[in-house]
Structure 1
Amino acid sequence: MILSDREGYSKYLRLINISFDVLVITLLFPMFFTGLGLNNLHFGIYQFVCWSIIAYFSEFYEVYRYTPPQQIGAMLVKQGIIFLLVVIAFFPFAKQTVFSGEATAKYMVVIFALITLFKFLLFYYLKKYRMVTGSNYRNAVIIGYTQDALRLKSFFEEKTEYGYRFSGFFSDTAVNNDVKGRIADIKTFVKENHIDEIYCSLNELSNDQLKDLVNFADITNKTIKFIPDTKEIFSKNLRIDYYEFFPVLSLRKTALHEPAAQVIKRVFDIAFSMLVIILVLSWLAPLLAILIKLESKGPVFFKQSRPGHNEKEFFCYKFRSMQINETTEQSVTRNDPRVTRIGKFIRKTSIDELPQFLNVLHGEMSVVGPRPHLWTQNNLYSSRIKKYMVRLYVKPGITGLAQVRGFRGEITNDEDMINRIKYDVFYIENWSLLLDFKIIIQTVVNIFMGEEKAY
C-alpha cells in the first residue's frame, strides 16, 4: 500500500512552507556576514544543500493537521541545532573567511525566529480557517463499531479544528443510525460520497477483508488507517500517529512522496535533460529530421496522448518511426510493416525516445519512472491488475526499472503487464537517487548491447 500525497496539508501549502524557509536562509545571511570575506555564492549553495539534506532526514516538513505543537517545536530545535553545526563547519574550509561567533549567533536567532513564527502562524491559521469556513476538511468513515471507534468519532466531531468530517460507521455486527451499512457496502459509499480517509477497527475485519480494502485504497487513491489491535497487519511498514492521545496507524508513504525527494528528483531531471538537449539533441535532431523526411512524408516528431501523473493527460513526444497511419492506439509488434527503415534503427537504439527530454523539462515526465502506457492499455489493465494505479502516483519516465529488466515493448499477455507493474511498484517503494543512476547506466548499456524487445 502506498499513500498518495493527499495526506495532511496540500502540496501547495507545504511548498509555500519550504519556499519561505529557503528564502529566509538565502536572503538574510549577507546582512550578517558582511566584511568577513565570505563568498556569498558558495555559502548560499552550501546552506541550501545542507538545509535540504537535514530537513529530509529529520522529516522537518512532515507536519500534518493532527501534528501537536510540541512535536513541531521539537522538530524546529533539532533542525536548528544541526543546521547551526553545519554553518559553523563551513568556515574552517573557507580559508579567506573570518569566522564570527557573534554574527553566526545573530543570524541563527533571526532566521529561526522568522521560520518558527511563520510555521506556527500557518499551522494555527489553517486550524482557524477550517473552524470558521468549514473548508479544507477531509471526509472520513470508520469500519467497525467498537469503543475505540466511538472514541475516534468523538475526536472528529469535538475537535473540528483538525479538519475532519465524520460520515458514518460500517459494521457487520452493529445496527443503529450511525451505521451506514455493512462492510461490503463501503466501496460504493466511498466512491459516491467523496470519502478521503478510511479508518479500520481491525477487530471486525478478517485478513481477506483487510487485504481487499488495502487494494481498494490503492486503486482509488484513498488514505487507509488502522485503529490498533494485534492483527498481523502490524508486521507491515506502519507509522503510528497520535490524534492528541488517540493512536492511529498509517501505512508509510514512500520516499518519492517526500517534498525534499521530489525537489531533488526534479533538479536532477532538469539538469540531466538540459545536458541531453544541448549535447545530443541540438545536432542529432536536425540530422534525423532530414533522414525521416527523405524516407517518408509526414512530421519529424510524433506526439501521442498518454496518462501521466495522477492520470492527467499529456502528449508524449518521439521521433516519428512509422509511416503515417490511423492505428496510433495499437502498440508496435515484431516486424510491424508500419515501421520505416530509419524507424527500425532509431527504435532499436531507443533514439526515438530522446524528444521526451522536452517532456521532462516541461515537468510532465521524469528521466526515470514507470513508462507511460497507451490509454487503451491503461483502461484495460487498471481494473484487472492489482496495484496498477500505484504507478500513476508518480511522473512517468523515459526509462524505468521494468524496462532495464527486459519488460519493455509489446504486451502479449497479462503476465507481461504484471511483471512491469511489479518492477514499477518496487521502484516507487524503494526510490533513491542512486537507483536512478543505476537505471540510467543500465539503459545506456542495454542500448549498446542490444535488446530483444526493442523493435
Structure 2
Amino acid sequence: MAARYSQYIKLTHFIGDLLILNVANLFANYLKFKNFDIFESPKHYYIILINVIWLILILVNRPYQISRVTQVIKVIRSQAYLIGLHFLFISSFYFFANKLGYSKEYILTFYSLLLMLSVISKTVFVVVVRRFRRRGFNFKKIVIVGYSKLSRELGTFINEHPEYGYKIMGYFGNESNGEELSGGFSDVKQYVLDQQVDEIYCCVPVADHTITSQLVDFGEENLISVKLITDFREFSFKRMELERYGDFSVINITSSPLDDLTNKAVKRIFDIAVSFVVVFFILSWLTPLLALIIKIESKGTVFFKQSRTGLRNKTFTCYKYRTMTNGQENKPGTVTKFGEIMRRLGIDELPQFYNVLIGDMSVVGPRPHMLEHTEEYKNLAQKFMARHSIKPGITGLAQARGYKGEIKSQSFMKNRVVLDRFYIENWSLFFDIKIMLLTISEILFEKQIKQS
C-alpha cells in the first residue's frame, strides 16, 4: 500500500513552508540591506525567532490536516491564517526586531513575500499532485459497502474526479439486483485483505449497525480507514458539528462558528477595536462638522433614531445621521441634497459604530430591519429569521455583493437571506475583513444589484 501513495506529503508541506519562510527572509534582507548576510550577528537571532514561532504555530494549529478533496482555496486560506498569526507574534516583538536593525518596512516586505511565495507554492503543489494522480499514480484503493443510489452517486463522483486519487475496487451488499456487486457483506473482509484496500466506505443505513461496527473493528485491527457515507447534501452549505451525549453521537446541522465562545470573543474584540477607533478618532471631529451642515440645510435633529430587530429578535435603537427634512426615513421625496450624498457614500450609517461599541451591533453581520419589515419579510423569505442568530452589522456579505437599499422584489430579499445565512455558517475573522474591504470597493465604484 505504501508504494501506491505517498506517506510524505505532509512532510513535503512542512519542509516547503520552512524553506519559503527563510527564502522570504533572505530576499527581504537583500531588498533592505542590499546583501544576503542574514547569518551575521545579531541578525541570526531574528532567523531563530521566526522559525521557532513558525514551528510552534504548526504544532498548535496543525495546518497540514488536508484531505485529498480539499480545494486549493481552502489550502491557501489555511496558510494565510497561519501567516497572519505569525505576523501578529512577530509584531509583538517589533521593538526587539528593531534593535536588530529591522524596520516596519522590512517586516511588511518579509510578510508580503512570504504570502506571495506561499500562495504560489501551495497552488503549484496541489495542481502537480492532482495531475500526478489523474495519470494513475499516488492513488488509494477503496471499497463501498452497502449498495444504493447514494453509494452509486458517490462512486460516480469519484470516477469523475481521478485527480483526487481514489480507485474503487468494488461494491459490496446483499441486494439481489446489484449487478455491480463484487460480493456480499460477508465477503468484504477477505477481499480487502487480498486486494490491499486502503479505505472502506460504509453506506448508512444500507450497511446496518452490526455490519458497520464489525468493519470498524476490522479496520482498526488491520490499520484500514473506515468512513461512513450519509446523505446531508440538503445541508451542504452548513457547518456540521459532531457532538457527544454520553455514548450517543449527535450531528448538529445548525452549528455556526460563532457558537464557539472563543470565536465570539475574537469577533467582539475586533468590533470593540474598530468601533473605538471610529468613534473616538473619526466621529469625534466629523460629527460636529456634519451636524453643522445638517442643521444649516434643514431643521430637525442631527441624529435619526429608529427601533430595529437585533440579536435573537430583540429590539434595539439604531442610530444614523438624519438625511431627510422631516426626520422620517420611510417617506419618499424628503431626502435632502446633503442627505443623498451621505447615503451614497454610506456616511449616514457611521453613528452605528456607537451601536457596535455598546454591543447592540457588530461591524459585519446581516443588516437590521425595521420591526414591521421583519414581520413582513419573514413570511416572504424562507428561513429569514435565521439572520437574527447573530448580531446585526453595519455592513454584511449581501451589501458587499451589491444587495443593498430598499427591497422591491421577493427574489432580491431571498438572495440577501441566502448570503446572510452563508456568512453566518462560514464566519471567520478574515471573512469579516474581506467583507469590509469589499464594502469599501462597492461604495467607491457604486456596485448595486438591479431589482426587477
Q: Under a length normalisation based on structure 2, what TM-score does the superposition of the two structures give?
A: 0.47
* Greater C-alpha Rg: 2
Q: Which has the higher contact order (CA 8 A, sep 6+)?
A: 1
Q: Under a length normalisation based on structure 1, what TM-score does the superposition of the two structures give?
A: 0.47
